Amino acid sequence: MPRGYEVTLSFPPFTRTMKWLIAGNAAIFLLTLLMGVGAPRLAAAFIHAFGLVPGLVVKGWLWQLVTYSFLHGDFFHLLYNMLILWMFGTDLELAWGRRRFLDLYFLSLTGAAVVTVLMALAGVLVSMTGPTIGASGGVYGILGAFAVVYGDRRIIILPFPIPLKARYWVGFLVLISVV
């Protein structure tokens, strides 16, 4: 290790914004999970109404451009998105403030939704009738901003005990997501 280089194990704090975003996503996940057990048809209708269905968005169901991000397919989908949001988003929120952080997050979510709708309209990889769900669009917007602002910060992401610059970790996470 280079001289003067120190590795510490620390976790970001849970800001009020992170608590609200994570709790909101977890609550909606539990709601859909319970609906799926007790009333599966209601759960399917809920996901169809609030997931991102490009064919419905072009017919005016514009709320789906944001609501899709609070739905998740399974526990690990939710866990991954919320863990990355907390780990990388907290530093941005603390540096920029709540408003600017939320602006970036929701702009990233809606931007990803618009791209998804445009891809569906063009017939590229996305169904016009099937729902897209998850906060990944916002999470990858946060990751991109983190790589720009804190790109030289060395971080370790377990289970890989290799300290790398943040920009390389972000690139690696994006690559894994694409693959």
Tens-digit pLDDT profile for residues 89-117: 999 999 999 999 999 999 999 999 999 99
Tens-digit pLDDT profile for residues 136-163: 999 999 999 999 999 888 887 767 777 8
pLDDT of residue 49: 96
Q: How far does the chain reach from its first CA to its final CA, in angstroms?
A: 32
CA distance 141 to 92: 11
pLDDT of residue 128: 81
Question: What does the angle CA 70 – CA 74 – CA 23 come to, to the nearest 5 degrees?
Answer: 40
Asked if residue 5 has pLDDT above 60, the reply is no
pLDDT of residue 1: 47
The whole-chain average pLDDT of the chain stands at 90
For 114-174, give the DSSP string.
HHHHHHHHTTSS--SSS-B--SHHHHHHHHHHHHHHSTT-EEEETTEEEEEEHHHHHHHHH
pLDDT of residue 172: 84
CA distance 61 to 59: 6
Peptide bond into 159 cis (omega under 30): yes
pLDDT of residue 12: 87
36-63 average pLDDT score? 95
CA distance 103 to 67: 16
pLDDT of residue 11: 80
pLDDT of residue 86: 95
**Cβ-based neighbours of 2, under 8 Å, separated by 6 or more:** none
The structure tokens 């690139």 sit at 171
Asked if residue 166 has pLDDT above 80, the reply is yes
pLDDT of residue 106: 97
Asked if residue 63 has pLDDT above 90, the reply is yes
